[in-house]
Amino acid sequence: MATIRAFRRSDREQLTALVNAHVAAVIPGVTVSVNALLNQLEREPDEAIVDPWVVERRTLVAVERDAIVGGAHLLRYGADERVSESYRDFAEIRWLVCRPGGGAALLAESVRALREWRPARIGADGSLPAFGVYGVPATWPHIRELYVDAGFVQQGKTEILSSIALDRVPAATPVAGLRLERSVGRNGTRFTAVGKSGAVGMIEVETNGGGVLFAQPSRWADVGNLCVAESHRRQGIASWLLAVAADWLRRAGATHLLAYAWPEQTDELGFYTASGFEELVRTERGWLLEDG
């Protein structure tokens, strides 16, 4: 029977190893450093908008014979007007990890702790401090089962994560009448296809190897945005932009590219499949406790 207690700094290596076991089941070759995990327990520097709304944090661990067999990170958001409605007076399990077959006592204590804060709503997620790991991935059936058994219901979207090795992306073939511009985008480096009348399409890609989130530099990158004006679709523009971005990422040392889409985004999924992307994992978002 596991003992549930507050996280201690001496737990950091064992908890990081357990976190990395869950990361490895989602994104190959990505690992979380001890420092990255400790940073998330104190604050999330990459969440510049949402993190300042957090008014309380708590981390629990499950211990069996001095071994850390589970961990959960809990957050409570403020109830004042500066907090957006979607987070106002909200409390959540930011993530919960555990060995398969265990975790029930840890989840029960987590829910009890969240209820003590008396929030209007209680949610659950799996947002570890790692690239591409959020929601409840299909590769964590033991976590999903725990949430369902405890009364959590998925009320958000299911997202499909697809990936491709960058050396499988063909060389860029320019589209007649268009020129390429490179600039800083909202979600990474932006490549824009520009015609006589202006921009007709763009892609933004971001590398994730800054050494902040990962124990080793990540060789993964992701697509932040990809769009082509409807009147210019099926002319090879998206394929050109993808190829240009892939070449740029290869120069930066990246080896793989991740893309995101919802099941109903059939055009996007069709393009990624035709371009050689393969489904990596599906992840379920927006878990809420029914009586929370």
121, amino acid identity? R
214, amino acid identity? F
Whether residues 192 and 275 fall in one domain: yes
Whether residues 203 and 252 fall in one domain: yes
| Nearest C-alpha neighbor of 145 from the set 92, 107, 113 | 107
Residue 178 lies in a domain: yes
Q: What phi, psi does 139 have (nearest 5°)? A: -80, 5
pLDDT at 44: 87
Contact 140, 95 (CB under 8 A): no
Q: pLDDT above 70 covers what percent of the chain? A: 96
pLDDT at 215: 45
The owner of tokens 């511009």 is 181
Q: What is the pLDDT of residues 203-262, one digit of tens each?
A: 999 886 544 444 455 689 999 999 999 999 999 999 999 999 999 999 989 999 999 999
Q: What is the pLDDT of residues 4-39, one digit of tens each?
A: 999 999 999 999 999 999 999 999 989 999 999 999
Whether residues 131 and 265 fall in one domain: no
Residue 287 lies in a domain: no
- CATH number of the CATH domain containing 257: 3.40.630.30
Domain that holds residue 198: 164-282
What's the pTM?
0.92
Whether residues 7 and 146 fall in one domain: yes
pLDDT at 212: 41
Q: What is the pLDDT of residues 154-192, one digit of tens each?
A: 999 999 999 999 999 998 889 999 999 999 999 899 999
Q: What share of the chain is helix, strand, coil (3-state, %, to 5)?
A: 25, 35, 35
Residue 177 lies in a domain: yes
E-state strands within the chain: 3-6, 54-64, 67-77, 90-98, 121-124, 136-137, 152-154, 158-165, 179-185, 188-195, 198-207, 220-228, 256-261, 278-284, 287-289
- Indicate the SS3 state at residue 255: coil
pLDDT at 45: 76
Whether residues 146 and 173 fall in one domain: no
Domain boundary among 91, 115, 150: 150
pLDDT at 218: 67
Whether residues 18 and 105 fall in one domain: yes
Whether residues 120 and 44 fall in one domain: yes
Is pLDDT of 88 > 50? yes
* Maximum pairwise Cα distance, the chain: 70
Whether residues 10 and 138 fall in one domain: yes
Residue 98 lies in a domain: yes
Non-local (6+) Cβ contacts of 109 within 8 A are 4, 60
